[in-house]
């Protein structure tokens, strides 16, 4: 659908992730490493789950479309579970690595707090998940045509980009919440994250009924944002502090 749609969808899908990267991650090499390793972990989890799905489809009748659709749903649920397992695995790896990093770093104490690692790991998962979903669609959006010849909605590209944006941010928030829950030994958090992830997946099955899929997903994203804010040390008091700080700065400078 031409360059305008390509750039528009690319900015929608990857704009926030890009801005998070350049302002919070790019300056610190350790964060970059953790980000890329997180992306790799997500990719491995997807590879293993797709292997399972691939074997299942090849072993069954390819013509039976309801069976294939059910296999796909099964494969996706398995993939969601595997992603959370790998998130947990990454948490354990980072904890072990943190002790080692603390030993060799110049300052006393670990160079990165668990909260920072949680955020970076979540963002890594989110970026890779977004890239994997969106790049293929983006490359097809460069051509002159748009989706719709066979009855699909013509808003396919925009909604794909919006969904990718939501999913990237959701992975980030899930990372924060998940690692905090593991730190505090609150295992119910892990279960809740898994359930929310499955809920988002099942909402996406409602496509192309975009009102029913995108709006609830964004609502869930906002809720997760609030939860992540509180679990990473934020509070209402901090927000009021921020507000008055700004006001007082404004008063003193004027």
Partner 1 sequence: MGLESSKWAIIFLVCWLYKNVSCNSVEQKIYVELNNTVPCVRLLNATHQIGCQSSISGDTGVIHVLESEEDLEWPLSKGPNPPYMVLLESSLFTRSIMMKMKNESNRVAGVAVVVPNTSPPEFSPHTTCPNENTGVYSDNYGPNLAHCNTTVWNPRGNGLSYEEFDFPVFSLKEDNETEFIKQCYLDHNRAVNGSAPQYPLCAMQLFSHMHAVTNTPTCMRRNDINFSINPEMVCDPLGDYNVWGSIRPYNDTVFGHKENESVVIAAARLDSRAFFWEVSTGAEGSVSGFVTLLAAAQALREVTHEAPPTRNILFAFFQGETFDYIGSSRMVYDMENGKFVIDLDNIHSVLEIGQVALHSGNNLFLHSDPVSRRNNTVNDVVKNLVNNLQSSTAGLGFLLVEPNVSQPLPPSSLQRFLRAQPIPGIVLADHESAFNNRYYESFYDNAANLNLTYPSDLSPEEQLEFVTHTAESLTDVATVVARALYKQAGGDESRVNTIKADPKIVTQMLYGFLVSSNNSWFQAVMAPELKNILKPSPPEYYVGVAMSSTPTRLVQYLLANLTGAATNLTQSQCQKPDELPNESRQMYSYLWVQGIVPPNSTERDSFCVRASVRLTKAVSPAFELGEYASKDYSTWTESRWKFIKARIFLVASRDLEMLTLGVGVAVLFTSLLVTYFISTKADVLFSSTREPASAAY
Nearest distance from residue 176's CB to partner 1, in Å? Answer: 10
Nearest distance from residue 51's CB to partner 1, in Å? Answer: 15
Per CB under 8 A, does 43 bind partner 1? no
* Of 29-37, 88-96, 185-193, 231-239: span binding partner 1 (CB under 8 A): 231-239
Give a three-class secondary structure readout of 47-115.
Answer: HHHHHHHHHHHHHCCCCCHHHHHHHHHHHHHHHHHHHHHHHHHHHHHHHHHHHHHHHHCCCCCCCCCHH
Per CB under 8 A, does 11 bind partner 1? yes
Per CB under 8 A, does 209 bind partner 1? no
Token pair listed for 20:
């998070």
Residue indicated by tokens 């719709």: 148
Taking CB under 8 A as the criterion, the residue among 123, 163, 189, 193 binding partner 1 is 163
Cβ contact 129:42 at 8 Å: yes
Number of residues that bind partner 1 (CB under 8 A): 81
Per CB under 8 A, does 80 bind partner 1? yes
Measured distance CA(187)–CA(176) in Å, rounded:
14
Residue indicated by tokens 């496509």: 207
* Of 7-15, 33-41, 89-97, 185-193: span binding partner 1 (CB under 8 A): 7-15
Residues recorded for the chain: 254
Q: Report 176-195 residues binding partner 1 (CB under 8 A).
A: none
Q: Report 96-115 residues binding partner 1 (CB under 8 A).
A: 107-109, 113, 115
Token pair listed for 78:
């398995």
Nearest distance from residue 168's CB to partner 1, in Å? Answer: 10
Per CB under 8 A, does 207 bind partner 1? yes
Measured distance CA(14)–CA(16) in Å, rounded:
6
Taking CB under 8 A as the criterion, the residue among 1, 35, 177, 221 binding partner 1 is 1
């Amino acid at each position: 659908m031409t360059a305008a749609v390509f750039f528009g969808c690319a900015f929608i899908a990857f704009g926030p992730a890009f801005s998070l990267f350049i302002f919070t991650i790019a300056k610190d090499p350790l964060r970059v490493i953790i980000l890329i390793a997180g992306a790799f972990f997500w990719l491995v989890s997807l590879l293993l789950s797709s292997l399972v799905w691939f074997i299942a489809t090849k072993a069954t009748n390819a013509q039976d479309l309801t069976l294939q659709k059910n296999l796909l749903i099964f494969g996706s649920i398995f993939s969601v579970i595997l992603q959370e397992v790998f998130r947990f695995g990454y948490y354990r790896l980072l904890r072990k690595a943190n002790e080692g990093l603390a030993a060799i770093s110049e300052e006393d104490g670990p160079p990165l707090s668990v909260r920072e690692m949680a955020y970076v790991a979540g963002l890594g998962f989110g970026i890779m998940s977004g890239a994997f979903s969106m790049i293929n669609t983006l490359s097809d959006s460069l051509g002159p045509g748009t989706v719709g010849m066979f009855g699909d909605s013509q808003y396919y590209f925009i909604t794909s980009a919006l969904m990718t944006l939501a999913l990237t941010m959701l992975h980030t928030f899930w990372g924060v919440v998940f690692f905090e829950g593991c730190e505090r030994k609150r295992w119910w958090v892990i279960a809740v994250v898994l359930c929310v992830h499955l809920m988002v997946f099942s909402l996406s099955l409602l496509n192309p009924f975009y009102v029913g899929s995108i709006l609830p997903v964004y609502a869930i994203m906002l809720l997760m944002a609030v939860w992540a804010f509180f679990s990473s040390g934020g509070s209402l008091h901090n927000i009021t502090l921020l507000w008055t700080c700004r006001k007082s700065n404004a008063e003193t400078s004027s």
